Structure 1
């Protein structure tokens, strides 16, 4: 119906009801709402089907060249000049290239991967990949059809660690396990730093957040925090770092840092 309306509008604009074949498939005359033209392939297809001197092969040619208006619309929507892609959309056969073979192998592989439950190793790898390259993580998850955990799942795993202001109990447990595993002294240095944070006062559904908090709750202070004060333990012998504590502050003096 839109194509018919487009033809009527085109005829009225040109003030001529005799439209040439060039005008029928020339995209220059096509509108955005009422498409008044058709693809060159569809135009040739219709001409072949309307040949009255070859009625006996009309059905056969219809089966062999199934070019429809919807396929032509898909080509237009893709906005591509890639002949291989256009041929594929139109239902044609294209050369089997190495890239296509790799694509089919990837298609087969990703359909086989359906992970419902994640082991500790898989969860660790997912968290590490998302930490180093969030964009790459989203791409891999999309390619393998959601085989990797959703970002909300990663957030829930992070939430299992109590990262509220104050000293982190999990960090001291890890430090204890490191010592028991080696039975040697762990030589470290303590690094302290502060970073600016977005100043806002919010209610997360359970408690208020955003106020100054030294690890005993924000009820004792009604100032909005402007910085996060962080303590981190860095090993001098091995290659690891361990965050020990964080506090929400609104400016901290050198005397307090020295304490």
Structure 2
């Protein structure tokens, strides 16, 4: 197996902008470490909390697959494609920036914060037509199983992006063990612990820890306590 990377929660970059608190797994804006640029096609994994009544002003993106997964609260999205939408816990949003798009993200609640995962992946196609989509996965069953919420196939379960990547969520009972099977040979797996404590192969992980590795075909995951997790499968090269 290729080298693995461990990113304990406390080792993440941290940015406090007053209205925004951002814990950043990989180098982002003013925070830079040449050893923490990306994991395969996974470029950004930010754990962001936006205070009530605040948000990101209008800003551009291009040639990036941008995914938002709210963990608490509601985020309002507006973009130059004409989309206006609210995304809540239990939903996933994707924006293929392609040739270029402007958007804003805003917490409309004047008091309660919103916490969400902001994830960027490099695309396997450049300069595509920009596209927006979101999906409600609340009704999906992820108790002691993997629930697919993203893939490269528009006809598959979940939203889709321009990359050979798959996202799965799971909520595991204490002591439950499960195997994650690679969707594509040669891909890597990045496990992010939303809450709880896991053992991934021989590596122990706690809340907000991240662990990336390159399994031959499958990975063993055991919940050391009740846990929720996100599994991100990405190619090394594209």
TM-score bracket, shorter-length normalisation:
under 0.3
TM-score (normalizing by structure 1): 0.20
Taking structure 2 as the reference length, the TM-score comes to: 0.21
Between structures 1 and 2, the one with greater strand share: 2
Greater RCO, 1 or 2 (C-alpha within 8 Å, sep 6+): 2
